[in-house]
């Protein structure tokens, strides 16, 4: 964990600069000016242990996606303090995690050919950086870049298991041709898929089914490549719902998931976690009352929470978030129902009485979507929830976030 | 405009750090790795001149809200290069704009009493920082802080003109009492209101009506304070729609608006601007094709665009944004209809044929809500659209953004 300021990263030509890394001084959650993001490290550790145990039972390696926390400090909890395998969503993350000692990184967004020089630079630093693609065009670019640079660029072919964003269907005619182009350049590493549909599967059985479908798609694609005489080392699957639902991952070599480190209201709505597993919240302060409308107004708007309203599509719409007191205890019926840039509006539902919260009262709002809410902040004030519910939890450390591309 | 790196701001105890300020090197929009934000300074200047002319005709001072661009470089265009009056949404903005030479700043979010030391610190630096409030509790905190610190804290009373977020109704019984508490501490400056409802008024006549209502509420509240023997120097109104619709601002001393500097699809949907007034866009790159679904996949997801879907509530839902080529020319019928964290999905509508855009093609996506999209980026690559539509517009400069609180 960061306990002292570290220098600002140097600007890189053609990219946006990253935030400075410094550690604001705060004794408790009563100290920093609001709004700010808080992580309960106790819940984070518990969430991490739960999925690690599952992966061990399923006899599959775990490659957590760090796109949610985007924090090398948080990632230190993933593999008992050592920099283990991770998945990233941007090259800025890959570079920051390489700086933090990680040497086994999968960049799980289809590669834009102009970004290959940054991938090669990481490779030259001793990082095994896997890239992803789903077209012959991209494969030709990767093969050419590997040959010209004399580096190995281990590459995964993206498989589409359920009709979300990128990938080839497992039975796509072009699959083996892409595999061959990569193999001839020494770059074929395997296949990767992501069950995007699992976020819309609302029962445990539907999520198990999504996990089986995800596994079947990846294993089938790997089988077709092997049948064509091509070596497949990695068969990678994962999403937070399917990682927690899978009952048999035969043929799969690694499991990815990211959101589970913090969880959020969308995941609780899907039944993947309980509300008391949510490790990320945003501390806000009451700045006004509108009794004529039944509103409490806070200084945390969408800039602090993000515009994400993932639960709007679920059975229980949680607005912009559920509201707890500063200790973390949920206040029954209190919901953040509206947001402008720097204002949040809290209202009571389900017949609850609007609580009496004077100007200056600090509250913690649990977000719809941890990935989106975390991205609105430069870092996290970290508390240890295992100490029980105290009025103003002590701040143990500050974890800066990686941002930009 | 920034042309050389400036030092990273020092970390302040209790706050999150701001990003470093450095200037990525880029010759044209073909150079930086995608996604990244672009501002057309020509359109920005034109938008600024349009509202300045309106304010001049209405004989009212203009105090632009800098919460959209959050850039002292962009603000330099507001008042012909000199640091004129501005409105801010966070104290981090106030401090950054003070660093850039601004001495007349209104912080237009109800004051959280614990933030008063930062307001006093700005005052001691010679900044006239107006704060906002709408309760006797807050007024008592401000009066006590002003007396104890020996500083003047000019304060505006927030007036609610249409039932959005904070403020007192103009006829609220408590209004004059708050005014008296402030006046006795030498802090009463005036009243401020914001027509939040104007974003939901879809005709020019409805917007004019919203502007009249906003003016009437502010002027009525000022009149009540004056009738009670209290001095009112500032009568402040504004929102981007009402600022562009107002036909008579008698009794008003200043007009605020922020979004108009960039405009966006929500404002175009309201008829406040045309599509070719939109000054902010996000450059993304094609990374895949899914002909079976009619999709083009890009490397710009909600992390680059934000989760804001403001046009979903308008007659024409624009998805996550309209798509232009790198020169800025809109591609008819092409819309960004879905987003995951780092993937965007483009589809054709209105019978348009999906264009043939090879892997590596750069595009510009026009956002729903400039304030939210801009907040996803550390700064802007700035182009000059007056040079006409060129394939890869030249990058004139880089404007860093202020972020955090």
On the question of pLDDT at B228 being above 90, the answer is: yes
On the question of pLDDT at B171 being above 80, the answer is: yes
Mark B72-96 as b/e (b = at least 16 C-beta within 10 Å).
Answer: bbbbbbbbeeebbbbbbbbbbbbbb
From CA A121, how far away is CA A95, in angstroms rounded? 10
d(CA B73, nearest CA chain A) in Å: 16
Indicate if B289 and B149 belong to the same structural domain: no
Mean pLDDT value across residues B193-198 = 94
Q: Which residues of chain A lie closer than 8 angstroms to B32, CB-CB?
A: 14-16
**CB contact (8 A) between residue B110 and residue A67:** no
Residue bearing the bigger pLDDT, A197 or A127: A127
Q: Which two tokens stand for residue B215?
A: 């003016």
C-alpha count within 13 angstroms, C-beta hemisphere, residue A60: 27
Indicate if B155 and B221 belong to the same structural domain: yes
Mean residue pLDDT of chain B comes to: 93
Tally the domains of chain A. 2
On the question of pLDDT at A149 being above 90, the answer is: yes
Indicate if B324 and B250 belong to the same structural domain: no
Q: What is the pLDDT of residues B123-161, one digit of tens each?
A: 999 999 999 999 999 999 999 999 999 999 999 999 999
In a domain, A249, yes or no: yes
From CA B326, how far away is CA B298, in angstroms rounded? 14
Which of B11, B16, B138 lies nearest to residue A5, judging by beta carbons?
B11
According to the model, what pLDDT value does residue B23 have?
Answer: 54
On the question of pLDDT at B73 being above 70, the answer is: yes
What are residue A163's phi and psi, to 5 degrees?
80, 25
DSSP string, B188-242: EEEEEE--GGGGG--SHHHHHHHHHHHHHHHHHHHHHHHHTT----EEEE--HHH
What residues contact residue B134 under an 8 Å CB cut-off, 6+ apart?
A288, B110, B157, B158, B160, B166, B167, B168, B178
On the question of pLDDT at B11 being above 70, the answer is: no
Last residue of some domain: A201, A230, A257? A257
Q: Which two tokens stand for residue B158?
A: 């927030």
Q: What is the CATH number of the domain that holds A307?
A: 2.40.37.20
Give residue for tokens 């919203």.
B210
DSSP string, A209-221: HHHHHHHHHHHHH
Give residue for tokens 């190995």.
A152
**CB contact (8 A) between residue A378 and residue B405:** no
Mark B278-314 as b/e (b = at least 16 C-beta within 10 Å).
Answer: bbbbbbbbbbbbbeeeebbbbbbbbbbbbbbbbbeeb
Q: What is the pLDDT of residues B200-213, one digit of tens each?
A: 998 999 999 999 99
From CA A193, how far away is CA A206, in angstroms rounded? 18
On the question of pLDDT at B12 being above 60, the answer is: no
**CB contact (8 A) between residue A340 and residue B165:** yes
Instruction: For residue B69, give the DSSP letter.
Output: T
On the question of pLDDT at B350 being above 70, the answer is: yes
Q: What is the pLDDT of residues A11-67, one digit of tens each?
A: 333 333 344 445 567 899 999 999 999 999 999 999 999 999 999 999 999 999 999
**CB contact (8 A) between residue B112 and residue A11:** no
Indicate if B278 and B177 belong to the same structural domain: no
**CB contact (8 A) between residue A196 and residue B5:** no
Which of B15, B109, B196 lies nearest to residue A32, judging by beta carbons?
B15
Mean pLDDT value across residues A292-321 = 97
Q: Which of B341, B345, B347 is the best residue to mutate to test the A interface, defined by the most A CB atoms within 10 Å of its own CB?
A: B341
Q: Which two tokens stand for residue A64?
A: 């957590």
pLDDT band for A3, please (50, 70, 90 cuts). very low
From CA B155, how far away is CA A147, in angstroms rounded? 66
Residue of chain B nearest A10, judged by CA positions: B22
In a domain, B86, yes or no: no
On the question of pLDDT at A326 being above 90, the answer is: yes
Residue of chain A nearest B307, judged by CA positions: A307
Q: Give the closest residue to A225 by CA, choosing from A186, A191, A184.
A: A191
Question: Coil, strand or helix: which one is A287?
Answer: strand
In a domain, A24, yes or no: no
In a domain, B2, yes or no: no
Mean pLDDT value across residues A185-198 = 96
From CA A106, how far away is CA A128, in angstroms rounded? 8
Q: Which of B37, B288, B305, B345 is the best residue to mutate to test the A interface, defined by the most A CB atoms within 10 Å of its own CB?
A: B288
On the question of pLDDT at B10 being above 50, the answer is: no
According to the model, what pLDDT value does residue A24 have?
Answer: 62
Relative to beta strand A155-159, strand A128-133 is parallel
What are residue A149's phi and psi, to 5 degrees?
-90, -15
Mean pLDDT value across residues A321-349 = 97
| Cis before A35? omega within 30 | yes
d(CA A369, nearest CA chain B) in Å: 11
Which of B20, B32, B138 lies nearest to residue A19, judging by beta carbons?
B20
Q: Which residues of chain B lie closer than 8 angstroms to A375, CB-CB?
A: 303, 376
DSSP string, B104-170: EEEEEEE--GGGHHHHHHHHHTT-EEEEEE-SHHHHHHHHHHHHHHT----EEEEE-SSSSSS-B-T
Question: Coil, strand or helix: which one is B244?
Answer: helix
Last residue of some domain: B257, B284, B303? B257
Q: Which residues of chain B lie closer than 8 angstroms to A134, CB-CB?
A: 288
**CB contact (8 A) between residue A114 and residue B19:** no
d(CA B388, nearest CA chain A) in Å: 24
In a domain, B35, yes or no: no
Indicate if A202 and A318 belong to the same structural domain: no
On the question of pLDDT at A160 being above 50, the answer is: yes
Q: How many CB atoms lie within 10 A of CB B169?
A: 17
Yes or no: say if B159 and B232 are a contact pair by the CB < 8 Å rule.
no
Write out the residue range of the structural domain in which residue B313 sits: 271-400
Indicate if B253 and B281 belong to the same structural domain: no
d(CA B113, nearest CA chain A) in Å: 7
Which of B16, B35, B341 lies nearest to residue A67, judging by beta carbons?
B341
- No. of helices (H) and no. of strands (E), chain A: 11, 17
Indicate if B246 and B298 belong to the same structural domain: no
Q: How many CB atoms lie within 10 A of CB B211?
A: 27
Indicate if A284 and A341 belong to the same structural domain: yes
- No. of helices (H) and no. of strands (E), chain B: 11, 17
**CB contact (8 A) between residue A67 and residue B403:** no
From CA B303, how far away is CA B301, in angstroms rounded? 5
**CB contact (8 A) between residue A165 and residue B371:** no
Residue of chain B nearest A258, judged by CA positions: B341
Relative to beta strand B61-62, strand B86-88 is unpaired
Q: Give the closest residue to B192 by CA, choosing from B227, B164, B226, B168.
A: B168
Indicate if B352 and B289 belong to the same structural domain: yes
Rounded to 5°, the CA angle B117-B123-B125 comes to 110
Q: Give the closest residue to B197 by CA, choosing from B221, B220, B213, B216.
A: B213
**CB contact (8 A) between residue B13 and residue A25:** yes
Indicate if B145 and B287 belong to the same structural domain: no
Q: What is the pLDDT of residues B269-294, one digit of tens each?
A: 999 999 999 999 999 999 999 999 99
Q: What is the CATH number of the domain that holds B183?
A: 3.20.20.10
Mean pLDDT value across residues A141-145 = 98
What are residue B46's phi and psi, to 5 degrees?
-65, -40
**CB contact (8 A) between residue B19 and residue A19:** yes
Q: Which residues of chain A lie closer than 8 angstroms to B171, CB-CB?
A: none
Rounded to 5°, the CA angle A284-A285-A289 comes to 125
Residue of chain A nearest B339, judged by CA positions: A165
On the question of pLDDT at A385 being above 80, the answer is: yes
Q: What is the pLDDT of residues B81-120, one digit of tens each?
A: 889 999 999 999 999 999 999 999 999 999 999 999 999 9
What residues contact residue B176 under an 8 Å CB cut-off, 6+ apart?
B224, B225, B228, B230
Report how far apart, in Å, the C-alpha atoms of B117 and of each of B86, B100, B114, B334, B404 are: 21, 20, 7, 50, 18
According to the model, what pLDDT value does residue A5 have?
Answer: 34
In a domain, B312, yes or no: yes
pLDDT band for B24, please (50, 70, 90 cuts). low
Last residue of some domain: A229, A257, A285? A257
d(CA A328, nearest CA chain B) in Å: 20
Indicate if A110 and A248 belong to the same structural domain: yes
Yes or no: say if B378 and A16 are a contact pair by the CB < 8 Å rule.
yes
What residues contact residue A184 under an 8 Å CB cut-off, 6+ apart?
A143
Chain A / chain B CB contacts < 8 angstroms: 232
From CA B244, how far away is CA B233, in angstroms rounded? 24
In a domain, A80, yes or no: no
In a domain, B168, yes or no: yes
Indicate if B276 and B382 belong to the same structural domain: yes
According to the model, what pLDDT value does residue A104 have?
Answer: 98
């Amino acid at each position: 964990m960061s306990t002292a300021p570290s220098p600002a990263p140097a600007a890189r030509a053609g990219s946006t600069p990253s935030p400075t890394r410094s550690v604001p001084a705060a004794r408790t959650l009563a100290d920093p000016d609001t709004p700010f993001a808080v992580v309960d490290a106790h819940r984070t550790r518990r969430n991490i242990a739960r999925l690690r145990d599952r992966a061990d039972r399923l006899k599959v390696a775990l490659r957590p996606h760090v796109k949610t926390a985007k924090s090398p400090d948080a990632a230190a909890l993933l593999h008992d303090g050592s920099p283990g395998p991770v998945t990233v969503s941007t090259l800025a993350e890959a570079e920051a995690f390489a700086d933090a000692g990680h040497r086994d990184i999968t960049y799980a967004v289809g590669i834009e050919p102009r970004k290959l020089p940054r991938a090669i630079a990481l490779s030259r630093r001793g990082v095994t950086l896997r890239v992803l693609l789903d077209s012959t065009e991209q494969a030709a670019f990767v093969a050419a870049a590997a040959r010209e640079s004399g580096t190995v660029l281990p590459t995964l072919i993206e498989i589409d298991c359920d009709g979300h964003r990128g990938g080839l269907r497992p039975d796509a005619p072009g699959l083996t041709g892409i595999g061959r182009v990569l193999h001839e350049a020494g770059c074929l590493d395997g296949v990767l898929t992501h069950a995007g549909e699992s976020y819309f599967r609302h029962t445990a059985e539907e999520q198990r089914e999504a996990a089986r479908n995800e596994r079947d798609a990846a294993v089938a694609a790997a089988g077709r490549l092997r049948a064509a005489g091509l070596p497949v080392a990695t068969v990678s699957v994962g999403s937070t719902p399917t990682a927690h639902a899978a009952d048999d991952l035969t043929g799969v070599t690694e499991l990815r998931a990211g959101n589970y480190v913090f969880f959020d209201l969308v995941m609780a709505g899907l039944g993947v976690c309980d509300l008391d597993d949510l490790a990320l919240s945003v501390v806000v302060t009451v700045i006004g009352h509108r009794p004529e409308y039944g509103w409490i107004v806070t200084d945390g708007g969408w800039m602090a929470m993000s515009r994400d309203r993932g639960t709007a599509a679920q059975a229980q719409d949680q607005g912009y978030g559920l509201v707890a007191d500063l200790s973390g205890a949920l206040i029954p019926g209190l919901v953040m129902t509206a947001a402008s840039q720097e204002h949040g509006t809290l209202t009571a539902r389900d017949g609850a009485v609007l609580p009496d919260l004077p100007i200056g009262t600090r509250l913690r709002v649990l977000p719809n979507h941890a990935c989106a809410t975390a991205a609105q902040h430069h870092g996290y004030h970290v508390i240890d929830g295992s100490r029980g519910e105290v009025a103003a939890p002590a701040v143990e450390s500050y974890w800066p976030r990686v941002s930009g591309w």
